[in-house]
Structure 1
């Protein structure tokens, strides 16, 4: 079963955060566990962002969380945020794609 993690964070330093994220993505090319990632901005709350990351399974997500590279990125990202991130851990029960 696919697993989705939503990470909500607040930052006034989004350009620095994105540079760090781009660097991490490049550094981990060929070693990624996530199958898809989206970065979003909350239209109703200033400087609030959500990353939506999909994994093949909960177990693979936890494997990713246990990687030293992930811990290093999380620590560096936290330094750019205005408080701790909020995590939501979701099992994907149903998926629909609409083309009309």
Structure 2
């Protein structure tokens, strides 16, 4: 079953966050199991962001989470966030084009 993780956070350093995400993408090339990432910014609060990360399954998401590159990425991102991120782990029960 496909799996999606939503990560919501606030930051006053979006350019630095983007650099860390780019570094992770390079360092995890060929290892990561994340298939797609969508990053959105809240129109009503420009310091609030939401990442939507797509995986083939919950198990592949956990593999990705266990990668040393992902662990290092998370540590760096926590230093750039204003508070704790909120994670939502979602099994995809339906997907369709509209």
TM-score by length of 1: 0.93
> More displaced, 76-85 or 65-74?
65-74
Report the counterpart of residue 89 of structure 2 in structure 1: 89
Tell me the C-alpha RMSD between the 2 structures.
0.9
- Using the alignment, how far apart are the partners of 2:93 and 2:83 within structure 1? 31
Moved over 2 A (4+): none
Report the counterpart of residue 12 of structure 2 in structure 1: 12
Gap runs ≥5 in structure 2: none
Count of matched residue positions in the alignment of Structure 1 and Structure 2: 98
Gap runs ≥5 in structure 1: none
- Using the alignment, how far apart are the partners of 1:29 and 1:68 within structure 2? 12
Q: 1:53-72 counterparts in 2 under 5 A?
A: 53-72=53-72
